[in-house]
Chain A
Amino acid sequence: MTRHVLRDFLPVVAVATGFVIAWKLLVVIGGYPIFILPPPEVVAARLVAAWRDGTIEPHVVTTLSEILLGFLIGSGLALVTGYALARSRLAERLLSPYLVAAQATPILALAPLIALWFGTGLASKVIICSLIVFFPITVATMVGVGSVDRQLLEVGRAFRATPLQVLTRLEIPGALPAIFGGIRVGATLAVIGAIIGEWAGGESGLGVLINLARGSLFDTPLLFATLVTIAALGVALYWLILVVERRLVGERG
């Protein structure tokens, strides 16, 4: 167990340590002032202080709620759409051009519009998160379901599996590795979606805190501390999905 943990986490810690050392060297050699590039220890101290005095926590709660809701709604819709695209040629022909067009339109350009239509509350952020999550999971589901081994589906037919049994016992388990590939990408994009939504308009959230730290507070260490928090949030979500993926997909050889 200890060896397993060491093998998995030691390289991660080593890279993080190397990054912090390089960052510190850059500050020292470049002689940058704190408001341009604060050294890592100052950012760390500001991060701890911001958590202790409750500066960051409410923003994290807001952003996390937006991410989770947006991710759940977006991925739910994506799973259904991806399945329909994989199994219905008509659906593929009808929807594919619009999906690609929607993906090609920058979410940064859409965000202010969505904020205008749905207000600066939770709804607009959830919509932006859902939109940004939707495409990669849809494509992954479509590819995953489409690539389920036809021979296994024939086994299902031979044992008279009902359409629902084919879906739940063969297609979904068979497509899971590909679907989780999309979910991993989607989860990290959801974080970006929430921040973009908050920049487009909002009173709370880590995106708002970045704007505050940069503009009115002129607190660059806080800006960096917020960036670190956002990155940690993304990594935590990614790892959580990896754990679920390992449990559901398992070893398949």
Chain B
Amino acid sequence: MAPRRARSIGTKTTQTNRVATPASPAGQAPTQPTGHHAAIAVRHCSFGYRDDPPRPALADVSFEVAPGELVAVIGANGTGKSTLLKLIAGLLAPDHGEVTVGGREVRGPDLGVGFVFQEPRLLPWRSALENVAFPLELAGWSRGAREARARDLLRLVGAPDVERLRPHQLSGGMRQRTAIARALALEPAVLLLDEPFSALDALTRERFNVALQSIWRTTGTTILLVTHSISEAIFLADRVVVLAGRPGRIVAQVPIRLGRPRSLVDLDASIVSDVSAAIRAALEREELA
């Protein structure tokens, strides 16, 4: 697959950032300047689950993600991170506000948006190859074409040898790689990742972060990644959006001015601890408030 990514890598190498950008007092975070259209734009979105009692999940959330950007969303449990991704994916509709992807308002699931769930959610009766080919099958691709594409994708995510295996025969890591390959099948402009590596051990997780960075650089897909891990967010993202409170709102957006491509040793740089401290400070400020 030809790389679609046009942006230069490593342009931010010499830049440093030691200060978090706090949200406005009203909880509305400043948005990044964008070109013609933001890849993702969330404007004044609120959402609550209509349970008994009702559970407000997000309150007046606004931010944008530029095309090709990799943004991490970080926050404690219950701050609406997964809900935010489902709003962007069109799996939920906001109670107030608007979500656009590529300039178009989200009114339901869109094939231009790939979603990797927290659990791999592979179909247990299908092989890894058939799972990756699943969205292509739904889209009406011929058997030969979808199998060829699925093979390419399994190779891209570093799982070329598992195509005949069923999910229960795969390791947790391979299952998640397969799920990422499936999400990339229709070449989405936007990829949403909901804590995709949370079930993996620390070492495997680091390896996967390197792999994800490589996939992002190869495909040029805009990525919005939900994670609990500050170091993972710093390693992968151009910017970290910090969600806090119940219902969740954005309390800070922290740019990560580390060069690309990043390696795991970059996590030892002093900027990382500074950014990490800024994110923690934003979370603690909210807790104290």
Say whether chain A's binding surface is mostly helix, strand, loop, or mixed: helix
Residue B137 at the chain A interface, CB threshold 8 Å: yes
| CB contact list, B22-55 vs A, under 8 A | none
* Interface hub of B109, B137, B168, B169 (most chain A Cβ within 10 A): B109
Q: Is the CB of A252 within 8 A of B138?
A: no
> Which listed segment binds B: A9-17, A90-98, A148-156?
A148-156
Closest beta carbon of chain B to A244's beta carbon, Å: 15
Question: Complex formed: what's the CA distance from A1 to B167 in Å?
Answer: 26
Chain B: CB-nearest residue to A160:
B109
Q: Is the CB of A250 within 8 A of B125?
A: yes
Question: Complex formed: what's the CA distance from A249 to B168 in Å?
Answer: 14
Q: Is the CB of B121 within 8 A of A169?
A: no
Q: Is the CB of B166 within 8 A of A151?
A: no
Q: List residues of chain B with CB within 8 A of the CB of A169.
A: 134, 137-138
Residue of A154, A161, A249, A252 near B91 (CB, 8 A) is: A154
Q: Is the CB of A159 within 8 A of B117?
A: no
Question: Complex formed: what's the CA distance from A157 to B125 in Å?
Answer: 18
Given the contacts A159-B138, A169-B137, A253-B166, A151 and B119 also touching, CB distance less than 8 Å: yes
Say whether chain B's binding surface is mostly helix, strand, loop, or mixed: loop
Q: Mark B179-207, 1 if CB is under 8 A from A, else 0.
A: 00000001000000000000000000000
Q: Mark A146-180, 1 if CB is under 8 A from B, else 0.
A: 00010110111111111001000110011010000
Q: List residues of chain B with CB within 8 A of the CB of A159.
A: 109, 111, 134-135, 138-139, 186
Chain B, interface size: which category? Answer: 20 to 34
Q: Is the CB of B89 within 8 A of A252?
A: no
Q: Is the CB of A151 within 8 A of B121?
A: yes
Question: Complex formed: what's the CA distance from A156 to B138 in Å?
Answer: 9
* Interface hub of A152, A154, A162 (most chain B Cβ within 10 A): A154
Given the contacts A154-B91, A155-B117, A250-B125, A160 and B138 also touching, CB distance less than 8 Å: yes
Question: Complex formed: what's the CA distance from A253 to B123 in Å?
Answer: 11
Residue of B91, B123, B139, B166 near A173 (CB, 8 A) is: B123
Q: Is the CB of B138 within 8 A of A253?
A: no
Question: Complex formed: what's the CA distance from A127 to B49 in Å?
Answer: 48
Residue B115 at the chain A interface, CB threshold 8 Å: yes
Q: List residues of chain B with CB within 8 A of the CB of A250.
A: 125, 166
Residue B124 at the chain A interface, CB threshold 8 Å: yes
Given the contacts A154-B91, A252-B124, A253-B166, A160 and B111 also touching, CB distance less than 8 Å: yes
Q: List residues of chain A with CB within 8 A of the CB of B121.
A: 149, 151-152, 154-155
20 further A-B pairs in the complex, CB-CB below 8 A; given A152-B121, A173-B125, A250-B166: A154-B91, A155-B121, A155-B123, A158-B109, A159-B109, A159-B111, A159-B135, A159-B138, A159-B139, A160-B108, A160-B109, A160-B138, A162-B138, A174-B125, A176-B125, A249-B125, A250-B125, A251-B168, A252-B166, A253-B168
Can you identify 17 A-B contacts, CB atoms within 8 angstroms?
A154-B121, A155-B123, A156-B138, A157-B109, A158-B91, A159-B109, A159-B139, A159-B186, A160-B111, A170-B123, A173-B125, A176-B125, A250-B166, A252-B166, A253-B166, A253-B168, A253-B169
Q: State the B residues within 8 Å of A (CB).
A: 89, 91, 108-111, 113, 115, 117, 119, 121, 123-125, 134-135, 137-139, 166-169, 186
